[in-house]
């Protein structure tokens, strides 16, 4: 990048990048939580004795699952503070697959300007709800 191009390069704030990352991971975590976790029902035959971790495999799985559930709950709580329009823009933009701006605008019959305004407001409200801003 030349010096002139670098001056005008916009970098998203950290709080916005974190919210967007959480929105992208949400369906993955949701799916992982909904799947039957067979490894919790069948304990391992033996635990590692050569070091590694102090927790058993089952404890590690439960802790990872609880962390994913916490993130899912946080995102769902943050989504609940959005207006219907903001929520619809966020959902269409990120789930089930990332949709283009034009695709979302066509589906909702809104202008690109309104799309960006609603998305920005929604992500900002979510950041406040998630205590990131």
Residue-wise pLDDT tens digits, 97-110: 888 999 999 999 99
- Taking alpha carbons only, the member of 124, 123, 50 closest to residue 90 is 123
Distances (CA, A) of 114 to 37, 77, 80, 85, 106: 42, 24, 21, 10, 12
Mean predicted confidence (pLDDT) in 48-72: 76
Residues 78 and 87: their CA atoms lie apart, in Å, by: 10
DSSP the chain: --HHHHHT-----HHHHHHHHHHHHHHHHHHHHHS--HHHHS--SS---SSS-SS-HHHHHHHHHHHHHHHHHHHHHHHTTS-HHHHHHHHHHHSSSPPPHHHHHHHHT--HHHHHHHHHHHHHHHHHHTT--
Q: What is the per-residue pLDDT for 133?
A: 73
State mean pLDDT over 106-119.
Answer: 96
How does pLDDT run across 1-50, given as a tens digit for each residue? 455 555 667 788 899 999 999 999 999 888 888 775 655 666 555 555 55
Q: pLDDT class for 126, splitting at 50, 70, 90?
A: very high
Q: What is the CATH number of domain 13-38+58-129?
A: 1.10.10
pTM of the model: 0.74
In this prediction, residue 55 has a pLDDT band, given cuts at 50, 70 and 90, of: low
């Amino acid at each position: 990048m030349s010096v002139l191009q670098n001056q005008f390069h916009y970098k998203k704030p950290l709080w916005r990048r974190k919210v967007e990352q959480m929105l992208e991971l949400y369906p993955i975590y949701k799916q992982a939580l909904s799947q039957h976790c067979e490894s919790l029902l069948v304990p391992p035959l033996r635990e590692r004795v050569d070091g590694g971790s102090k927790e058993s495999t089952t404890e590690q799985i439960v802790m990872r699952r609880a962390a994913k559930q916490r993130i899912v709950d946080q995102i769902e709580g943050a989504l609940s503070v959005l207006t219907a329009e903001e929520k619809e823009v966020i959902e269409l933009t990120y789930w089930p697959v990332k949709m283009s701006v034009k695709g979302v605008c066509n589906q909702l019959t809104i202008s690109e300007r309104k799309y960006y305004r609603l998305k920005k407001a929604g992500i900002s409200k979510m950041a406040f709800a998630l205590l990131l801003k």
